[in-house]
Amino acid sequence: MKGWPRTSGSLFAQVAADVEDSELVRRYREAGVVLLGKTNTPEFGIPGVTNSERLGFCRNPWNPDHISGGSSGGAASATAAGIVPMAHASDGLGSIRIPAACCGLFGMKVTRDRTPICEVSDGALGFSVHHVVTRTVRDSAAMLDATDGPQANDPFQAPAKAGPYLAELERSPGRLRIAWSAETPSGRPIPDEMMQALLRTVDLLKGLGHELVERGLGVDYRILYRAQGFASASNFSANVQRWVEALGREPEDGELGLLARRGYEAGKRVTGQQAFWGFQQLRLMNRQILAAFEDFDVYLSPVMATPAPRTDWLDPLMEDIREFDRRQAATYPYTPPFNFTGQPSMSVPLWQSADGLPIGMMFSGRFADEATLFRLAAQLEKEAPWKDRRPQVWG
């Protein structure tokens, strides 16, 4: 963003100000939106919790003792608190859908290459996409209409939409065949409160005339995440190396947080063979997931395994980094596969926990089929509206 500083939430990777707008920012300006300021992110967007040595903790407007999610936690907190009607967010492993679920917002992770990438690192893996978090389905559709489409000289392009996404909100989704599952990558049962929310969603969808089929994606999550680990580690280390080249020096002690330092060093140890095995394996398993969607239109699961955890329980700055990994994996088991496949996937804030925290349900569609998801979201928003649910800090 021209003239605005950028730190990536890091003590190391900083620029005084960007010298030009990205293509996405240019489209925001052309749409007439007012660019208000930067929001908090964790260092390099690594964890699903927004906290860093540089920027501090971003808390949840519904209860400041709880996290706002990540990596777009600042965007979600600002929108949920009523500071802005919507905010830019990106999603590389769940970073739109997780904050949306934590903060009671609508969050659409768009199809790969649906909107312009912002940096070379975004497009290298293809996991990360850019859109917004919003209070309403309408605002999300309108902003995607304003920003979708390939940028100049882009070698990859998402299939063109059939028509304006705003117009899709006026269309019935018809009778959809919706698969749903209580499976988790660990094979452990979903905690009771989230299971009840999932079953309540299934009943709601049946009442709307949809066909519900209980079945999983049928993939070996252990292999899936092992492959992703090799690919992501090598990509992240390459990203940090670009900062090293730009700044002309290696990061000093204390300039990278524990997660970033570990990722940088781990990526250096990944061999070329391991990195490409990871890419190949992801390709094979992506085809397996995409093939499953030949039998149904939409896949339903919770966004998270629990409502937003407490800040003192899930903190990326905690000293025991392995314990943080364990807790984070247990909290966010559902979102990553659809970053790997590039499919659209949305968080819909249908319910609230017994403690008054938002609970989001995740609906994932066929590749490039945001239209079906927007139609379904509009139907759900009408049947189980959420826009008038507001945290106490509002207004």
* Residue whose C-alpha is closest to residue 342's, from 366, 375, 372: 366
pLDDT of residue 292: 96
pLDDT of residue 156: 85
Q: Which two tokens stand for residue 389?
A: 């649910």
Torsion from C-alpha of 340, 104, 141, 130, nearest 10 degrees: -40
User: In 3-state terms, the chain is what percent helix, strand and coil (to 5)?
Assistant: 40, 15, 45
Question: CA-to-CA distance for 241 and 276, rounded, in angstroms?
Answer: 19
* Residue whose C-alpha is closest to residue 10's, from 61, 45, 59: 45
Question: CA-to-CA distance for 136 and 155, rounded, in angstroms?
Answer: 33
Q: Is the pTM of this model over 0.85?
A: yes
R_g of the chain computed on alpha carbons: 20
Q: What is the pLDDT along the chain (395 residues), one digit of tens a residue?
A: 899 988 899 999 988 888 899 999 999 999 999 999 999 999 999 999 999 999 999 999 999 999 999 999 999 999 999 999 999 999 999 999 999 999 999 999 999 999 998 776 666 788 999 999 999 999 999 999 999 999 888 888 999 999 999 999 999 999 999 999 887 877 778 889 999 999 999 999 999 999 999 999 999 999 999 999 999 999 999 999 999 999 999 999 999 999 999 999 999 999 999 999 999 999 999 999 999 999 999 999 999 999 999 999 999 999 999 999 999 999 999 999 999 999 999 999 999 999 999 999 999 999 999 999 999 999 999 999 998 999 988 65
Segment holding 380, helix H or strand E: helix 370-383
pLDDT of residue 122: 61
DSSP secondary structure letter of residue 43: G
Question: CA-to-CA distance for 134 and 85, rounded, in angstroms?
Answer: 6
> Rounded to the nearest 10 degrees, what angle do helices 221-247 and 272-292 cross at?
130
Angstrom distances, CA of residue 356 to CA of 75, 85, 96, 307, 390:
21, 22, 21, 10, 11
327 burial via Cβ count (<10 Å: 0-12, 13-18, 19+): middle
Strand, helix or coil at 298?
strand
Question: CA-to-CA distance for 21 and 48, rounded, in angstroms?
Answer: 27
> Is the distance from CB of 110 to CB of 143 less than 8 angstroms?
no
b/e string for 79-101 if b means 16 or more Cβ within 10 A?
A: bbbeebebbbbbbbbbbbbbbbb
Residue 53 phi, psi dihedral angles, 5° rounding? -60, -30
